């Protein structure tokens, strides 16, 4: 695949231009650049963010797709909606989204490969179809891409903050305001690499919250994500003094709540084929609702 940059295309970074040129995600394009699959004027680019000039010649030799090592498993899935392009899943508590260290099988991806085998070649080999994730103990909605075009479109919507994600969360304490925004960068914890934290120089992270109901010793919040960093809601709410109930990593040590009180309630995005804005919502699971009922005042 080869392309000569026109005057109109000049001024764009290579890593930003490659996705539109090849119909891939920005993350995959970066891997291709770093892996030597992209040549700029016959040479390996010095950096992925080099600015393109008129007349530059880009040559791409995509690497061969690695065989998927993740196996299909007949695990029940709550598929809220699906068509030829996407599947919207209501993820249960305790299910890991994709294989990783300590979770080689029994994941959402294993279940998806059995329920929607056409996702097998979409995106990353170990995370076929996955465009965003939920923590193991977070319940609720996520959307899966069933072809490369859908994967690219949905990934871009998440990257540009066009897709909307809304959660219910129950936190310790009672915020003095009815709503607020946490705008604080998130990165690896400086002393514990398994945790995330608000750190200087971290990646931009913005979380909006508003009070839904004040409970006994706690508060039910509606939370909207502007960005999607690892553990973002859990880290941000802890950073302002209101950690989530049931959070064994970022919560209060004296907390006896048996479930993480975080549920991905609503998902809004533009359908990659029809161009229509679609919205899906699911109620929290029974164990989540029981905790709220048990904490109601009066």
220, containing H or E segment? strand 218-225
Contact between 281 and 222 (Cβ < 8 Å)? no
Determine whether 241 is exposed, middle or buried from the number of CB atoms within 10 Å of its CB (0-12, 13-18, 19+).
exposed
The active-site residue out of 15, 56, 135, 137 is: 135
The residue written with tokens 């990165």 in the block is 187
Contact between 26 and 16 (Cβ < 8 Å)? yes
> What is the secondary structure of 34-99 as a DSSP string?
HTT-EEETTB--S-TTPBP-TT-EEEE-PPPPPPP-PPP------EEEE-SSEEEEEEPTT--SS-
Q: How far is CA 238 from CA 177, 187, 264, 288, in A?
A: 16, 14, 18, 20
Find how far residue 176's CA is from the centre of its chain: 30
Nearest to 292 by CA among 251, 255, 257: 257
In angstroms, the CA 243 to CA 231 distance is: 12
In angstroms, the CA 145 to CA 249 distance is: 30
In angstroms, the CA 47 to CA 173 distance is: 47
Annotation marks residue 135 as catalytic: yes
- Strands 139-145 and 262-270, bridge-based pairing: parallel
In angstroms, the CA 74 to CA 115 distance is: 8
The residues carrying an active-site annotation are 135
């Amino acid at each position: 695949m080869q392309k000569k940059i026109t005057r109109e295309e000049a001024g764009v970074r290579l890593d930003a231009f490659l996705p539109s040129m090849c119909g891939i995600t920005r993350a995959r394009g970066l891997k291709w650049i770093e892996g030597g699959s992209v040549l700029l004027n016959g040479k390996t680019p010095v950096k992925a963010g080099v600015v393109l000039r008129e007349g530059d010649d880009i040559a791409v030799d995509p690497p061969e797709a690695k065989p998927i090592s993740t196996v299909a498993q007949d695990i029940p899935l709550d598929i809220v909606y699906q068509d030829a392009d996407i599947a919207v899943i209501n993820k249960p508590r305790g299910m890991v989204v994709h294989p990783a260290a300590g979770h080689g099988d029994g994941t959402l991806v294993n279940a998806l490969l059995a329920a929607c085998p056409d996702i097998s070649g979409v995106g990353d080999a170990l995370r076929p179809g996955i465009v965003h994730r939920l923590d193991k103990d977070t319940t609720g909605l996520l959307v899966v891409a069933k072809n490369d075009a859908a994967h690219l479109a949905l990934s871009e919507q998440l990257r540009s903050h066009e897709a909307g994600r809304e959660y219910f969360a129950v936190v310790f304490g009672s915020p003095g305001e009815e709503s607020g925004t946490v705008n604080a960068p998130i990165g690896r914890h400086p002393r514990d690499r398994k945790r995330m934290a608000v750190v200087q120089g971290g990646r931009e992270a913005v979380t909006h919250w508003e009070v839904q109901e004040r409970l006994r010793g706690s508060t039910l919040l509606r939370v909207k994500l502007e960005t999607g960093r690892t553990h973002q809601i859990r880290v941000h709410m802890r950073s302002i003094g209101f950690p989530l109930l049931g959070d064994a990593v970022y919560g209060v040590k004296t907390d006896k709540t048996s479930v993480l009180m975080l549920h991905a309630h609503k998902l809004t995005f533009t359908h990659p084929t029809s161009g229509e804005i679609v919205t899906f919502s699911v109620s929290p699971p029974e164990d989540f609702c029981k905790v709220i009922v048990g904490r109601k005042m009066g």
